[in-house]
């Protein structure tokens, strides 16, 4: 630990660490540096990846270029000289939380959620049964995940879950690789999709259409491909009093139900050679197969009057050769911090992280998906950050000031640990490099992502070492 170089005044402006450079972390940094009243000197954002932007880079589907453009606004935030970026640093592993506390008066965890929630039905571990997060990380080329995928063995596939991630997975599985060439889809992913044997994607929902977790814009988008026909199984389009109440309460749910109802009524079009089928009130109970997936068994459900469902004892076996489990993401625990194993988040009250006894931990906060779970769009992380930051600033007078207060001291610690840290100028270099690769590509792509961590850090570091 370096010697303290700056005396700590109790009235010193706050030095804050944000862990996680996804939208939640960057919005928190933005709000912190714009605050009036309590002085915030600087905000340093750490990420375990060499790159910023979290799930915008490694979760949002490549055919959502408009959403990926949110990084333009986030980039502007990161240009603020009071905000620094330290990439390739995993807090809890490379740097312990207690070590950070030596340099920062408060630490805001915005570590998101990037793994699959488990699905506890028989057969979930068979070959050909995939977590949605794994497939998403493949098609977005997450550096720490699988870089190969085989879609040649399955004609019919099942997607379990009817939320926006399920929609992304179904859409990417159904669209032809060539349709995605205009996007930043990585060349090796395009090749996998180009060779895909998939003709039919079946989405299964345990509950009814009024309980679907889709958002209307994302749902409508499913139907935008000339090569894909979307069909809703009319037998699942049932509503009870609870469903009517849910629809009456939320305009967006009404819009979702309207779209689904329209699709349930239409006749199949001639032409599209791939189909997405949506089946409501079919609860997946077992993935069938001997070593490898050969089917999915569902139980027909019925509505109970209040929007809930119960099983009918009527089972159907679907002939599918692969299953994608899109039943939600989960956050990972961080060493030396409490974790709520039931909700799979950092236990917190309005962003103040709580100890196992329920008392706030001094100077430790949470925002984004690790605060409230993996639901909601990028925009929601902004209001989330506003709440967390408001509480942090309210606590500021009571926060003990950290003994080490300069960026030079933080950087000395990171160097001492031998970490190959990336900074924001480094991101700009990597970003420019990827765009140049895209222009040079025969298909004139938006960008060609660099995948390996070591290559990313080398490109990011280039100018510093010249």
Closer CB to ligand FAD, 332 or 444, in the complex: 332
30 touches ligand FAD by CB under 6 A: no
| Residues in the chain, overall count | 466
Rounded to whole angstroms, the Cα distance separating 201 from 10 reads 60
Confirm or reject binding of residue 329 to ligand FAD (CB under 6 A).
yes
Binding residues among 196-225 for ligand FAD as defined by CB under 6 A: none
Least distance to ligand FAD from the beta carbon of 162, Å? 14
The CB-of-381 to ligand FAD minimum distance in angstroms stands at: 5
Computed from CA positions of residues 434, 167, 49, 351, in that sequence, does the dihedral angle turn out positive or negative?
A: positive
Segment lying near ligand FAD (by CB under 6 A), choices 42-50, 204-212, 234-242, 436-444: 42-50
With binding defined as CB under 6 A, does residue 162 bind ligand FAD?
no
SS3 50: coil
Applying CB under 6 A, among 328, 363, 368, 426 the residue interacting with ligand FAD is 368
Q: Does 19 bind ligand FAD (CB under 6 A)?
A: yes
Residue by residue, what is the 3-state secondary structure of 241-287? HHHHHHHHHCHHHHHHHHHHHHHHHCCCCCCCCEEEEEECCEEEEEE
62 touches ligand FAD (CB under 6 A) = no
Binding of ligand FAD by 97 (CB under 6 A): no
Q: Minimum distance between the CB of residue 419 and ligand FAD, rounded to whole angstroms?
A: 12
Give me the residue label for tokens 């060779």. 195
338: number of Cβ within 10 Å = 17
Question: DSSP string spanning 105-165?
Answer: SEEEE-----EEPP--STTTTSBTEEEHHHHHHHHTT-TTS------SS-SEEEEE--SHH
CB of 95 to ligand FAD, least distance (A): 8
Q: Does 114 bind ligand FAD (CB under 6 A)?
A: yes
Kindly state whether residue 67 participates in binding ligand FAD, applying the rule CB under 6 A.
yes
Beta carbons of 355 and 361 less than 8 angstroms apart: yes
Structure token digits, residue 271:
């032409």
Q: Considering only residues 380-399, where is the footprint of ligand FAD by CB under 6 A?
A: 381
Contact residues for ligand FAD (CB under 6 A)? 19-25, 46-49, 54-55, 59-60, 64, 67, 90-92, 110-112, 114, 136, 165, 168, 329, 334, 368-369, 376-378, 381
């Amino acid at each position: 630990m370096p010697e303290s170089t700056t005396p700590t005044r109790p009235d010193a402006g706050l030095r804050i660490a944000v862990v996680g450079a996804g939208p939640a972390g960057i919005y928190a940094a933005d709000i912190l540096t714009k605050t009036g009243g309590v002085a915030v000197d600087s905000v340093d954002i750490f990420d375990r990846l060499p790159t910023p932007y979290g799930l915008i880079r490694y979760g949002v589907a490549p055919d959502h270029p408009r959403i990926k453009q949110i990084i333009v606004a986030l980039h502007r935030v990161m240009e603020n000289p009071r905000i620094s970026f330290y990439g390739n640093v995993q807090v809890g592993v490379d740097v312990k939380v207690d070590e950070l506390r030596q340099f920062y008066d408060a630490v805001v965890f915005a570590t998101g959620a990037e793994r699959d929630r488990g699905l506890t039905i028989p057969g979930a571990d068979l070959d050909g049964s995939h977590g949605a997060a794994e497939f998403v990380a493949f098609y977005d080329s997450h550096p720490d995940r699988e870089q190969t995928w085989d879609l040649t063995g399955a004609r019919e596939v099942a997607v379990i879950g009817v939320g926006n991630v399920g929609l992304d997975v179904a859409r990417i599985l159904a669209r032809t690789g060539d349709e995605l060439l205009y996007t930043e889809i990585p060349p090796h992913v395009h090749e996998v999709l180009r060779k895909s044997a998939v003709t039919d994607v079946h989405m299964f929902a345990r509950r009814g259409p009024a309980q679907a977790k889709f958002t209307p814009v994302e749902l409508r988008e499913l139907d935008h491909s000339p090569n894909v026909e979307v069909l809703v199984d009319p037998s699942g389009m049932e509503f009870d009093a609870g469903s009517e109440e849910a629809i009456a309460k939320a305009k967006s749910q009404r819009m979702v139900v309207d779209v689904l109802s329209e699709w349930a009524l239409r006749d199949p079009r001639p032409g599209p050679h791939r189909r997405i089928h949506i089946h409501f009130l079919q609860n997946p109970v077992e993935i069938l197969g001997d070593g490898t997936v050969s089917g999915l068994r569902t139980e027909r459900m019925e509505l109970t009057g209040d929007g809930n469902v119960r099983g009918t004892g009527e089972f159907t076996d679907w002939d599918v050769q692969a299953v994608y489990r899109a039943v939600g993401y989960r956050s990972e625990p961080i060493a030396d911090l409490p974790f709520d194993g039931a909700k799979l988040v950092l236990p917190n009250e309005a962003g103040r992280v709580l100890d196992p006894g329920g008392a706030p931990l001094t100077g430790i906060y949470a925002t984004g998906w690790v605060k409230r779970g993996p639901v909601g769009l990028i925009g929601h992380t902004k209001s989330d950050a506003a709440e967390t930051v408001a509480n942090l600033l309210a606590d500021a007078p009571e926060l003990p000031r950290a003994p080490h207060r300069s960026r030079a001291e933080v950087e000395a610690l990171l160097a001492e640990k031998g970490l190959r840290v990336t900074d924001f100028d480094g991101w700009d270099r990597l970003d420019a490099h990827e765009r140049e690769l895209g222009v040079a590509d025969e298909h004139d792509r938006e960008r060609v992502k660099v995948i390996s961590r070591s290559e990313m850090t080398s490109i990011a570091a280039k100018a510093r070492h010249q």
